[in-house]
Amino acid sequence: MKKWITVLSVVLLSCALLAGCAGGGKEEPENVANGNEAPPGEVTITIMNFKVEIAEQFNKLKEEYEQTHPGVKLQIDTLLGGDNYNTQLKARFASGNMPDIFNNEGYKQLDAWVEYLEDLSDQPWVKNEIEIAKEPMTRDGKVYGMPVGIEGLGFLYNKDMFEKAGITELPRTISQLEDAVVKLEAAGIQPFVNSFDNWFGLGFHNVNNPFAKQSDPNAFINGLNDGTARITDNAVFKDWVKLFDLNIKYGNKNSLTTDYNNASTMFATGQGAIYQSGNWLQPVLDKLAPDMKVGLLPMPISEDAAMNDKLFVGPANNWVIYNKSPVKKEAKEFLNWLVTSEAGQKYLTKEFKFIPAFSNIEVNPDDIGTLGAEVMKYIEQDKALGWHWSKFPDGAAQEFGASMQKYIAKKVTGDELLSEFQAAWEKMNTR
Amino acid sequence: MRRWSTSQLMQQTVFVGPALFAYAIVMVLPFLLGLYYSFTNWNGVSSQIDWLGLKNYVTILTDDPDFGSSLWFTARFTFTVVLISNLLGFLIAYLLSKPMKSRNMLRTIFFMPNVLGGLLLGFIWRFIFTEGFAAIGESTHIGFFELPWLSTEASAFWGIVLVSVWQGAGYLMVIYIAGLTNVPSDMLEAAAIDGASGFQILRNIVLPLIMPAVTICLFLSISWTFKSFDLNFSLTQGGPFKSTESVAMNIYYEAFKNNRYGLGTAKAVIFFIVVTVITMIQVSITKKREVEM
């Protein structure tokens, strides 16, 4: 009898346990459902933000938006960009906990997510979007994302150091750049700050240079995909290796273990004169070295001054809306508010320091910082080339980065570097 | 009724059932799902999943030198770390099982690195290697500190080995200490009276008696280092040029970064088989050497 009671009580307890679990599971969907059905009363838009740099400013925006839009709450989850962002997004997707607004870089990333993205073609801001920002998020004539902003990539340089080294004219060709670098070294200044630790700066930003300087980058990339073009016998790539050589030769010690944070600090604290980066470094520089005089140089690979005097400019990232989101309407309204209302525009330029991708937004160069202003100058003078890494086959950029690290460590020659690029492209493209 | 409800089967269902159920949901089901995905081209997001048959496996075995080299790295790494950390762990345990004043404090100190997480350790050591060592090297000119730590293949490899041993040895030490304290002192005394030297006692009495601890320690350290991910991720990010990319990292990049979830899970399945075979061989070998008292 005793045994029987024990067994029974165990069964009952187990049932209670299971029931408890089940109850817990049930509650959640109910809450969500309530959120859906509740008329305008109270909705929450979840935003997954990829830019850590603007996390604080975003919270200010949240307060203002919630005040002017009663009934709408914003929930902002800020995550570090790159690897973590996409992994987190996939994890949240798999657990059915998708944010309503998230980020997408376009091209290959758009391929992966396109079936879950809301078509935004009918939004009022589309007509004001500048051409260069449209391409990544357009598929079959439909627009799936709103560009966050425009960013420019090139060599950041320390104006005081250039002056000290007696460089009066800014280098526009590779030989001028070499002259400048030699002068810097003669003046006892470390010419380049290199961060070769991560594949990101190498395989994305640095390699973009020869891709963008093809006479028709898209045709070249298509050619690589169908096998009619090759990296190995491409003159632009061979020129680019020379710039890379210069970079390595006049670079800092242990560049292979200098990471992004280290390198940024080194540049900001005057331990080097030239640093491959972009206007996104402005908030960091403002904090570390507010008095520093800094400018942006193009990255010349040959003697053609007209072709080389150009910055690489692209849409930083894009806002997209999850098409199964229950608050689609409110999410669209939010994005629209961001680029059409005065308050939204103020946040975009003054607080986030983004270069807007919309022709209707007036920008005061003082608001977006020196670097942003320089990028805008290049855009206005039509001296801008595009960003192409999002068109690379998945995984190719990492292979590029690894091959470049081998080159830095002198494990491969320049020709071998380019044939490794070619092999990496073919391998990643066919998988 | 009564007989049925108290039968063996019923009791087992009741007592083991809930645990088995949880295990099935949390471990077995995802494993089977992963096995299924490894035969498809799923990208991790899309609702479109195409059956590929064995194509992923063929790709990995014939056309993926990176997976091969990461497997080779992991094998070398595991061998080195398992060997060094077990020897060191045992040595420390042996010394700390002798009566000593500062014994408890030393045990705590050696165990400490294990309390910190691997990711954190990686970041700390990254700083020590790239900043600390460089600074010491500059002021003292000792060759060891002037090496280009983490930026060549060899220094990155030994850098990771150093940190893993430092982290793992303390844990193994605790298991060895537990084993050593279970060795009956009358046996040791008897051996000493018979005139056995310290080394003879260690080899012929202590070692056979702590074989169960050796089995556990080897098993733990092999499976840990084989699956190592966080330390490589934070210390070297697999660099320079992928030379310290462990298999777990390779799988992670393939599945999540390259959007090839199917290929990634296929790699994971292969990896699973490799780890299972190796640990089974190890356990069966060391089990044979265990002696019953």
Give DSSP secondary structure letters for A56-110.
Answer: HHHHHHHHHHHHHSTTEEEEEEE--TTHHHHHHHHHHHHTT---SEEEE--THHH
C-alpha neighbours within 13 Å on the C-beta side of residue B118: 16
From chain B, which residues contact A within 8 Å (Cβ)? 2, 5-6, 10-11, 14-15, 17-18, 43-48, 59, 63, 126, 129-130, 134, 148-152, 237, 239-242, 253-254, 256-260, 263
Give the model confidence (pLDDT) of A145-158 as tens digits: 888 888 888 888 88
Percentage above 90 pLDDT, chain A: 0
CATH number of the domain to which A241 belongs: 3.40.190.10
In Å, how far are A180, B22, B268 from B29, measured between CA atoms?
62, 10, 15
A426 with A396, same domain: the answer is yes
A205 lies in a domain?
Answer: yes
Whether chain B has a CB inside 8 Å of the CB on A257: the answer is: yes
How many structural domains is chain A composed of? Answer: 2
Whether chain B has a CB inside 8 Å of the CB on A19: the answer is: no
Predicted local confidence at residue B80, as pLDDT: 93
A349, A375 contact by CB (below 8 A): no
Residue A77 domain boundaries: 35-149+316-361
Q: How far is B160 from chain A (nearest CA, A)?
A: 14
Tokens of B280: 């089974």
Residue A38 has pLDDT above 50, yes or no: no
Whether chain B has a CB inside 8 Å of the CB on A198: the answer is: yes
Contact at CB, B259 and A394, closer than 8 angstroms = yes
Give the model confidence (pLDDT) of A300-339 as tens digits: 888 887 888 888 888 878 888 888 888 888 888 888 888 8
Contact at CB, A256 and B150, closer than 8 angstroms = yes
Contact at CB, A405 and B239, closer than 8 angstroms = yes
Tokens of A110: 């758009």
Predicted local confidence at residue A7, as pLDDT: 53
Give DSSP secondary structure letters for B93-104.
Answer: HHHHTS--TTHH
**pLDDT mean across residues, chain A:** 79
Report the relative pairing of strands A384-385 and A311-315 from DSSP bridges.
parallel
Give the model confidence (pLDDT) of A77-134 as tens digits: 877 655 677 778 888 888 888 888 888 888 877 877 888 888 878 887 777 777 777 7
Q: How far is A20 from chain B (nearest CA, A)?
A: 13
Contact at CB, B2 and A4, closer than 8 angstroms = yes
Rounded Cα distance, A428 and B63, in Å = 11
Residue A21 has pLDDT above 60, yes or no: no
Tokens of B13: 């269902």
Contact at CB, B15 and A405, closer than 8 angstroms = no
Closest CA to A388 of A227, A221, A233, A241: A221
Tokens of A185: 């070294």
A297 lies in a domain?
Answer: yes
Chain A's closest residue to B43, CA to CA, is: A112
Give me the mean pLDDT over the A191-200 stretch: 83
Contact at CB, B5 and A7, closer than 8 angstroms = yes
Contact at CB, B257 and A86, closer than 8 angstroms = yes
Q: What is the pLDDT along chain B (293 residues), one digit of tens a residue?
A: 566 667 888 888 888 889 999 999 888 888 888 888 888 888 777 777 788 878 788 888 887 888 888 888 898 999 999 999 999 999 888 888 877 788 888 888 888 888 877 778 888 888 888 878 878 877 887 777 777 788 788 888 888 898 888 888 888 988 998 888 888 888 888 888 888 887 888 888 888 888 888 888 888 888 888 888 888 888 887 778 888 888 888 888 888 777 788 888 888 888 888 888 888 888 888 777 776 65
A187 with A128, same domain: the answer is no
Which neighbouring-strand residues pair with A384? A311
Predicted local confidence at residue A28, as pLDDT: 36
Contact at CB, A254 and B18, closer than 8 angstroms = no
Q: How far is B267 from chain A (nearest CA, A)?
A: 14
A397, A210 contact by CB (below 8 A): no
Handedness of CA A199, A217, A150, A107 (dihedral sign): negative
- The dihedrals phi and psi of A418, each to the nearest 5 degrees, come to -70, -35
A13 lies in a domain?
Answer: no
Best of A257, A405, A421, A425 to mutate (most B CBs within 10 Å, chain B)? A257
Rounded Cα distance, B67 and B59, in Å = 10
Structural domain spans, chain B: 54-289
Domain final residue, candidates A361, A391, A416:
A361
Tokens of B217: 């320690």
Residue A59 has pLDDT above 90, yes or no: no
Contact at CB, B237 and A10, closer than 8 angstroms = no
Chain A's closest residue to B242, CA to CA, is: A402
How big is chain B, counted in residues?
293
Chain B's closest residue to A409, CA to CA, is: B152
Chain A contact set for B63 (CB, 8 A): 427
Rounded Cα distance, B81 and B160, in Å = 9
Predicted local confidence at residue A33, as pLDDT: 38
Chain B contact set for A102 (CB, 8 A): none
Q: Among A21-25, A99-103, A199-203, where is mean pLDDT lowest? A: A21-25
Confidence of residue A16 (pLDDT cuts 50, 70, 90): very low
The 8-class DSSP code of residue A320 comes to E
A144 lies in a domain?
Answer: yes
A283 with A376, same domain: the answer is yes
Q: How far is B46 from chain A (nearest CA, A)?
A: 6
Whether chain B has a CB inside 8 Å of the CB on A421: the answer is: no
Phi-psi group of B259: left, alpha or beta (phi > 0 → left; psi -120 to 50 → alpha; rest → beta): left
For chain A, report the end-to-end CA distance as a whole number of angstroms.
Answer: 66
Whether chain B has a CB inside 8 Å of the CB on A256: the answer is: yes
Contact at CB, B260 and A113, closer than 8 angstroms = no
Rounded Cα distance, A338 and A348, in Å = 7
Q: To which H or E segment does residue A275 belong?
A: strand A274-278
In Å, how far are B52, B57, B91, B185 from B204, measured between CA atoms?
56, 47, 16, 14
Q: Report ipTM (2 d.p.).
A: 0.73
Predicted local confidence at residue B208, as pLDDT: 83
Contact at CB, A108 and B17, closer than 8 angstroms = no
A387 lies in a domain?
Answer: yes
A245 lies in a domain?
Answer: yes
A406, B239 contact by CB (below 8 A): no
Whether chain B has a CB inside 8 Å of the CB on A105: the answer is: no
Rounded Cα distance, B2 and A424, in Å = 70
Report the relative pairing of strands A384-385 and A146-147 from DSSP bridges.
unpaired
- Which class does domain B54-289 fall in? mainly alpha
A95 with A174, same domain: the answer is no
Contact at CB, A254 and B151, closer than 8 angstroms = yes
Q: Which of B6, B237, B263 sits opposite A4 (nearest CB)?
A: B6
Rounded Cα distance, B127 and B71, in Å = 27
A353, A283 contact by CB (below 8 A): yes
Q: How far is A51 from chain B (nearest CA, A)?
A: 18
Predicted local confidence at residue A18, as pLDDT: 44
Give the model confidence (pLDDT) of A331-382 as tens digits: 888 888 888 888 888 888 887 778 888 877 777 777 777 888 888 888 878 7
Best of A256, A320, A405, A430 to mutate (most B CBs within 10 Å, chain B)? A256
A194, A249 contact by CB (below 8 A): no
A123, A142 contact by CB (below 8 A): no
Contact at CB, A7 and B149, closer than 8 angstroms = no
Report the relative pairing of strands A192-193 and A142-143 from DSSP bridges.
unpaired
A266 with A324, same domain: the answer is no
Contact at CB, A4 and B18, closer than 8 angstroms = no
A273 with A415, same domain: the answer is yes
A233 with A121, same domain: the answer is no
Rounded Cα distance, A131 and A109, in Å = 20
Handedness of CA A251, B145, B127, B80 (dihedral sign): positive
Contact at CB, A409 and B2, closer than 8 angstroms = no
Q: Which of A113, A394, A409 sits opposite B258 (nearest CB)?
A: A394
Q: How many CB pairs under 8 A join A and B?
A: 93
Which neighbouring-strand residues pair with A311? A384
